[in-house]
Amino acid sequence: MWFFTQEEKEIQKVCRDFAQKELAPYAEKHDHDETFNLKAFRHMGDLGLLGITAHPDFGGAGLGATAATIVMEEFGKACAGSTLSYLAHSILCVNNLNNNGSQEQKQKYLPALCSGEKIGCMGMSEPEYGSDAVGMQTKAVKEGDSYSITGNKMWITNAQYADIVYLYTRTGPGKKELTSFIVEKGTPGFSVSKEIHKMGMRSSPTGELSFDKCKVPAANRVGAEGDSIVHMMKNLEMERITISGISLGIAQACLDQSVKYAGERKQFGKTLAHFQMIQKMIAEMYAETEAMRRLLYTVCYEYDHGHRSNTLASAVKLQLPKMATKIALDAIQLHGGYGYSREFPVERMMRDNKLNEIGAGTNEVMIMIIAKNLLNDALRH
């Protein structure tokens, strides 16, 4: 994009090279085996990417939504599953802690998270509370200088590998009385109770977290009791913008793969590139991908310059995953039988992207948010 800073352009190049060398060659195997590319993840820390938005005082890069989204796009082209794990660590855990933690908490936890020595995740969704995250029932009860936490968290990315959990709990009867805690691996009463097998994003580990009277020091509470509804909504805005970068990467990869295939595959004595129907598909895929790119990075730019909008973040999260799924399906159609097979990566890209229409708020929830905000604005006038 024309407004990328020199630093953002350098990050783009570093991430593109890294993705092609350390993610793309192993994406199919990790997808097939449902395994996590831990070696590549640790190397992201060496490159200074795991704390992309964290303050430099704690080992982070101190950058914004644009830089974080560039990483998501470049990694997403190569291996969306690894990118989802990157997002869960860098945005859901590190960014949350950087924005909301105390100086002592940040000093204690962020350096190891930013370096890749420790892996992070976030616990929000529950078995009975997905879209209605505010209705969560995991409870934290104050007991002297600690809290006793009981409940389960479902669909947790990085669950099996996480050393640090940024955990949302309920600390009162009111719907918005939510409080966050930092929970360390090995804390008595905390366990990973279930591994979840998925249709896509199979190289990103997902599990269920269980808390059975888990004792967490009061010093690990993030902010005051009841503060976390504000933390949650702010970080969701960042999450929805950056996860859309993965969809942009998938769309671009599908387009690149389709152009390459059309120039190589022959039917009726000539390459597919000579057929007008194929030309139409490729032209539309290009136009849609560029529309995605300009919407997404415009919102990133505005976010980084203080013009933040929950409505726009939701619009990005609604449109980009929907369009990427359509582009991935078009790529499969263009490849014909090969597209439906595992011989080409487009079928994996379609499976991976479908999660982006569900995670971080479903398409339907995004529609509700956008409509509510627009109609409330209209009624006020």
Query: How far, CA to CA in Å, does 129 sit from each of 89, 124, 153, 241, 331?
Result: 22, 9, 9, 22, 35
Three-class SS state of 359 = coil
Three-class SS state of 225 = coil
Closest CA to 328 of 263, 260, 253: 253
CB 182 within 8 A of CB 220: yes
Structure tokens at 152: 């389960």
Q: How many CA atoms lie within 13 A of 174 on its CB side?
A: 9
Q: How many CB atoms lie within 10 A of CB 348?
A: 23
Q: If 0-12 CB within 10 Å is exposed, 13-18 middle and 19+ buried, where does residue 379 land? A: exposed
Contacts of 148 (CB under 8 A, 6+ apart): 140, 141, 213, 214, 215
Catalytic residue chosen out of the listed positions 239, 288, 347, 357: 239
Answer yes or no: 239 catalytic. yes
Three-class SS state of 144 = coil
Residues labelled catalytic: 239
